[in-house]
Structure 1
Amino acid sequence: MSQLADESTRATSRDRAAESARAAHRTAPRGVLHGGGAVAVTGLGVVTPAGADEHSFWAGLCSGRSTARRCDELTGLPVDFACPVDSIDLDAAVGGRSVWRMARFVKLALVAARQAVADAGHDPARWDGGRVGVVLGVGVGGVSVLVDNARRLADDGPDAVSPLLVPMMIPNAAAGEVAIALGARGPSLAPVTACASGATAISVARDLLDSGQCDIVVAGGAESVLTPLVVTAFARMGALSTRSGDPASASRPFAADRDGFVMGEGAAMLVLEREKDATARGGHTRALLVGAGSSTDAYHPTAPEPDGRGARRAVEEALRQAGWTPGDVDHVNAHGTSTLLNDAMETALIGSLFPHAPTVTAPKGVVGHTLAAAGAIEAVATVLTLEHGLVPPIANLDSVTDAFELDCVVKEPRHQSVETAVSHSFGFGGHNVALAFRRA
């Protein structure tokens, strides 16, 4: 009986301690992580039209030169140019027998994830996979595989349809394949918030660390939809630039004569850990994620709320979590799509919320609009700006002529000691995400 009583007492003590910890976590200020501290970015991986690794991507971004070119697969369409990933053999980079079952967006994600994990100094063969999560935003999925199999069905009948069509086309295939490759057995999620998906994934990853569900999360976004059907669909919406005579000048965020975005493809992944955990293992913290705000316009399926009120709510929440005032922000990595409506809204947002005129850049001038991957690619760019003290220029922009005078970096990179930065991401459906990063 004495032993049973002792066990009961110990169990009660454990229960009380656990409940006390849960209560403390519930009442802690938002933005304060489980166990205290911030989220460390310990690894980066990126595959983009400007480069298929961190160093070539950064050099391409800082060059301020667009990667847009005419694409053979788009010949004959009203818009026949895009920003493809040319500098890597994805099949060779992925390697192994499993490559045949992967759509292109999955391969992009897997290459970026491996880069990020290696950069963080982790060995997936040695980590506790049950404590590792994957959050990978994808907007569309394997649309090229779907289109190809639709043709096969029409031309040759049901037997011609691949039995792998479903696992190759579903948007969550990337998260699943990355988890398999890394032995990540924690939560594996695939948030879809259109062009904000990559940023949403990073925000969700932060929540997984905050809640204590994970100790490491590999998070980001991937997209590859440079197919005639999708490009034509965006063109029919009036979303794409029609500067077919000079594709390299077509993506021009915040320019007065902008006429639409240029389609791109790519992937970017970040390894995120609690700062105290990264420090304890001797990991290198490249930057700190100190705030992540989300909101919804609830205004229109594709157009942003013109005055930017919805987007502003997301940015203000990120600032609140970071413990910053707007005046604390040194730099803004803008969504900057080069469309009339988005850039006008974002100009109003930045000009009204940040009257002290922090520097502004917009990577889509160089890499095009990579849709679900954009927020993650731009998060990587923001981390690199913090690290290098260098703000990349916006391609094809001379000056801003909208209602507010923004301090857009143009022509060449600008040296600046950036301590704090915010990265904006907005998506069809009214999705808004803002990520706040601080230099480590």
Structure 2
Amino acid sequence: MKASPAINDVSNMAINPIKSLCLALLLATGSSIAAEQPLDRIAVIVDDGIIMHSQYAKRLDEVRNTIARRSGEQPPEDELRQQVLDRLILDELQMQIAERSGIRISDEELNDTIQTLAERNGASPQQFLQSLAEAGGMSLQSVREQIRQEVTINRVRQYRVSEQVQVTEQEVKNFLNSALGQMQLADDYHLANILIPLPDSPTADEIDQAQARVNEVLQRLQKGEDFQQLAVRFSASENAFDGGDMGWRKAAQLPPPFDSAVAQMQPGEVSKPIRTAGGIILLKLLDKEGADDASYSEEVRVRHILLKPSEIRTAEATEQLAQRIYQRLKNGEDFAALARQFSEDPGSARNGGELNWVSPDSLVPAFRETMAQTAIGELSQPFASQFGWHVLQVLDRRFSDSSLEQREQQALNLLHNRKYEEELQLWLREIRDEAYVEIKEP
């Protein structure tokens, strides 16, 4: 079983291949202008792309501004520089994958994403962008491009990692019958973490060094230092500059042994050090909430056809194909047959595009909103989501309690997210290990 790409789990432009790199010295004896405007230089070569010193310096400034805004202690300069550089290298690698795969975020899709994020924060798009710009010391255009890059990277991860995650029917049944499965309808946890990294097959010395850093963090916590500030300084996790904030999770979304650990913690408590494949982790429970005990919710029976841009089909060509399929459906061709032939959602294509009964809240915004505007039995116009171009048909609507089918879908999503988090870290390490990276003098 696989969670459908329509279901919501879990950007700067990529640089074209380098044909030649030339460095020139500007000889302007006595020129004050030349002295005030030094040439940019290459900080890192990453496969077919480069990271310029100006990009590196700009990101450093943004991170420092973010830390300062939280009134946090700046981490040691060498550690901060290394974390920023590592993040830039991973971002560049993922943007190169996006470029090769034909993944691009249009201005229209970017505006829709900003609108959704602004609504979640109770602000207008302009207010939302302005607040981010002020917090990071960036221009509005830089904020837009950073959001575009994050959306692009998330889509790459969806294609390369999330869609490869498989959850079997037996795993779902076992989960629902387990004590942990019962917990999925209980509490939500707001978590933060600190990751002290370890390489693959670490030596005894490397383990000792990592444990020493963990002990230092624990000692600082015992003296009253702030967990989130320590995360900025010590953590190698992707969310380190966000104070290690992981957002709200259910225990079932966490891999063992974190799932059982958080269930026994109280808000404000920090877990004992937990060894994982990626390193040693400290987990802090920031807050928790009881599950929603509403008895009834809306469900929609829907089917769709998904088309994805790729290396051999541009976004424009994908949209045109979606329009042609839509016309064929309007002309009376069988939806299920066309879904089996064209749909690139492996989870539903074999079933004629059917997602069966789904909760609107489990769907990405573009899909949910289009579905809400489509009457029973009607086809939607082709529309874009973060996964590609869709045509959907609403088959029925109902209000129901927590049926077995609904709980199975919830379990499927939770197990999928758990496996995704584990596979993502392995994939990021893999692409970094396989890349050609030459660090100049940042």
Q: Same fold (TM over 0.5)?
A: no
Bigger share in helix: 2
TM-score interval w.r.t. the shorter chain?
under 0.3
Greater Cα radius of gyration, structure 1 or 2? 2
